[in-house]
Structure 1
Amino acid sequence: MFMESPRDELDLDRSQVTKAVQALQACLKSSSLSQKLFENDGQAISLLLTQWKIPRKEQTIRISLPHGLRTESGDVCLFTRDEPRMTSEQTVRFYKKLLTERGLKNAIEVIPFNMLKTEYKPFEAKRRLLGNFDLFLSDARIRRRLPSHIGKHFYERKKAPLSVDLESKHLVRDMARLIQGTSLTVSNKGSCCMVRVAHSGMTADEMVENVMTAVSTISAKLAMTGKNIKIIHLKSQTSVALPIYTSDLSHLAVVEEARKKARSTKGAKKRKRENKNREVSDLKTKETEEEKDSKEEEIPQLVPIEMPTKKPKQETISKQGLKKVPKPAAGKGLKKTVKDTKLAKKTPKVTARGLKRKAKNK
């Protein structure tokens, strides 16, 4: 069974639980509404837990019960991944065959991921799916992809799919524990939480065993000390809450002491971290100061200054050659042409007749 530490063990009286179960059965039988429910699967019976202090973190506790809450009729839905090179119908047949070959007796409705995206995309289809099944399981390989497709109502109604490893060697055992067991969600928004532990179709002894097992598991697995549980009630959907456990004020002192110890340990851890950070920062500052001092103490070495050498003539020629020759202005060209024409007019033309005349005159 479940190992418990003496600090977390609750003094739950079995005779008190038996009296509460018998009174609850008598109340359900006397009402006309319960007679209709008894003809079906029965009415759910739950534990209502009230805590002394509101926990800081949300916690989910899985509880394995000696007597299963569900019959072999199919009220369980399993979301699976899409098998490669298979249609949705072939995937459904593949996983149903796998579960029957492994020896699972419960009838489970298989819905592949592609079918969930297409056929259950409208809001009304999701609401019908939520109402048709009491428990939802999901393949561990697609668990992270489900929240965006199933919607927030699954989580508000506390019907979030539970993860299952379909490749495990102990698949039937793991699924049987989830199907026949239950889970408690301890919220950090209030001091009360509820978990289903039985149904009205069970016998009184089966109900008592389930209640005792559930309380011992919760007190052992609760993140805060088990003494944080203040009152435990047993109730059905239509009946009043019947008390089966009440703690005294000494438990409140234990819870406060545990919180103080937790705070002190957290404070000590913080101080250690701060001291370590300070030591590291001091070391870094010391190293930087030493580096600065060593740099200051270093004697600068004299390095000869290299004078710039003259550039070779070829480079100057090449650079001069690369320079563009300026084009002559338009006015200067005109002046030159005018002078040339004047000189041409002043110089007489030498002809044969002129030479003869010069010879006669002589």
Structure 2
Amino acid sequence: MDNKKVIEATKALQKYLKDKSKETSEKSQLFEDSDAEPLYLVVTAKRYFSEQKNLRPKLIKVPHSVWPENEKPRICLFSRDPQRAYKDALYAGENGPKIVDRVVGLSKLKGKFKRYEARRALKNDFDLFLTEPEVAPSLPTVLGKSFYGSQVKTPITVSVRQGDKIDRDLAQKEIEQVLESTVFLKPGSTLVLIRVGLTDSKPKHVAENVKAVVDYLVENVLDESMAGIRTLSIKTSQSPALPIYYTEKIYDEADIGALEDNDESESAKRKAEEQHLDELLKEVVDEDEIKEYNREQKRRKRKGAAAAGEEGDEEANEDAEEEENSE
């Protein structure tokens, strides 16, 4: 992958968005305020990243923050009960400024935010959602698609306790690690979007973040090879995708072998299912009845083949007669 292409694509995308904002409204100042849009790397792989969507985000360390420099993201933490203990430890007080903007305990989440409208309002009020490891397994059911429909608002797991005590310093360290990273949520498909900057980020910084993300995917997800990537593009939610990488080979011998192995495994799976069905039938049906049933099926197949042959002969004769009449 060529970093120069990433820089060129970023500059082209920034120019496109700036020109578009001027056309839309004279008042729109996309690059002069804090409303810069997230910039995403679009990765299309040759194979599925996973057989099913993974709801536990992974952090990818990047050299440059994907958050605005002069504006801290609003953070909400989903905690164990009682939530008051977390508020006392993490909100502003004797120990220093607040670390998170809001704490919502699991019981409060299930009660006050049970309705979809309340969850949607909560999602829109914050930029980043964190969760304790003990709470995380319950969240997909409680929060639903409003949070888990995309990786942007999917809660990230952090540790805020040392034993039974809420540790403010540990929480601060965990949050800083999140802010120095980007999020990868392994999809049950061949395509994923990963945030690599903002529309007002320096193109060189975007290129360095893209390299960090691609290196992570190659080393940890795609069998340590760029051959697993089909295309790479960058885009925003409102722009077209600008390509920065295309693979030379859509499929190689390894891909073909994997497809063949998959076909063989599917065949073996069907055969096992058929054998299992036969065993179940033997438990409820007499063995002589099964043999008679199989013989009857074979007789019907032979009759069907014979009838098809006779029908084919009749059609051939009709065609011959038509040809004679036409002559």
Q: Normalised by the size of structure 2, how large is the TM-score? A: 0.65
CA distance in 1, matches of 2:141, 2:50: 27
Q: Which residue of 1 aligns with 2:161?
A: 167
Q: Indicate the SS of the match to 1:15.
A: helix
Deviations, residues 20-75 of structure 1 (Å, cap 9, x unaligned): 11111111221225944442331111011112233452455431111112244342
Q: CA deviation at 1:217?
A: 1.3
Q: Which residue of 1 aligns with 2:296?
A: none
Q: Tell whether the 8 Å contact from 1:135 to 1:179 is kept in structure 2 after alignment.
A: no
Q: CA deviation at 1:138?
A: 0.4
Match for residue 69 of structure 1 among 54, 66, 70: 66
Q: Which residue of 2 aligns with 1:151?
A: 144
The answer to whether 1:27 aligns with 2:30 is: no
Map 1:88-107 onto structure 2 (within 5 A): 88-89=83-84, 91-96=86-91, 101=95, 107=100
The answer to whether 1:139 aligns with 2:124 is: no
Deviations, residues 125-158 of structure 1 (Å, cap 9, x unaligned): 1111122223211011222233332233211133
CA distance in 1, matches of 2:234, 2:130: 27
Q: Tell whether the 8 Å contact from 2:90 to 2:99 is kept in structure 1 after alignment.
A: no
CA distance in 1, matches of 2:46, 2:73: 39
User: Letter of the aligned partner of 2:66 in structure 1?
Assistant: L
Q: Which residue of 1 aligns with 2:294?
A: none
Q: Tell whether the 8 Å contact from 1:65 to 1:180 is kept in structure 2 after alignment.
A: yes
Q: Pick closer, same or farther for the CA change 1:19–1:104 going to 2, 3 Å.
A: farther
User: Letter of the aligned partner of 2:132 in structure 1?
Assistant: D
Q: Indicate the SS of the match to 1:73.
A: coil
Q: Which residue of 1 aligns with 2:243?
A: 243
User: Letter of the aligned partner of 1:124 in structure 2?
Assistant: E
The answer to whether 1:117 aligns with 2:114 is: no
The answer to whether 1:182 aligns with 2:182 is: yes
Q: Indicate the SS of the match to 2:177.
A: helix
CA distance in 1, matches of 2:60, 2:261: 27
* Structure 1: 5+ residue stretches without partners: 1-11, 267-362
CA distance in 2, matches of 1:113, 1:124: 18
- Percent sequence identity is 26
Q: Tell whether the 8 Å contact from 1:46 to 1:197 is kept in structure 2 after alignment.
A: yes
Q: Normalised by the size of structure 1, how large is the TM-score? A: 0.59
The answer to whether 1:44 aligns with 2:44 is: no
CA distance in 2, matches of 1:149, 1:260: 38
Q: Which residue of 2 aligns with 1:289?
A: none
Which of the pair has more CA radius of gyration? 1
CA distance in 1, matches of 2:256, 2:58: 24
User: Letter of the aligned partner of 2:145 in structure 1?
Assistant: K
Q: Pick closer, same or farther for the CA change 1:186–1:94 going to 2, 3 Å.
A: closer
Deviations, residues 321-348 of structure 1 (Å, cap 9, x unaligned): xxxxxxxxxxxxxxxxxxxxxxxxxxxx
Map 1:192-231 onto structure 2 (within 5 A): 192-224=191-223, 225-231=225-231
CA distance in 1, matches of 2:232, 2:255: 20
The CA RMSD measured in Å over matched residues stands at 3.3
Deviations, residues 68-91 of structure 1 (Å, cap 9, x unaligned): 1224434221111124xxxx5554
* Structure 2: 5+ residue stretches without partners: 266-327
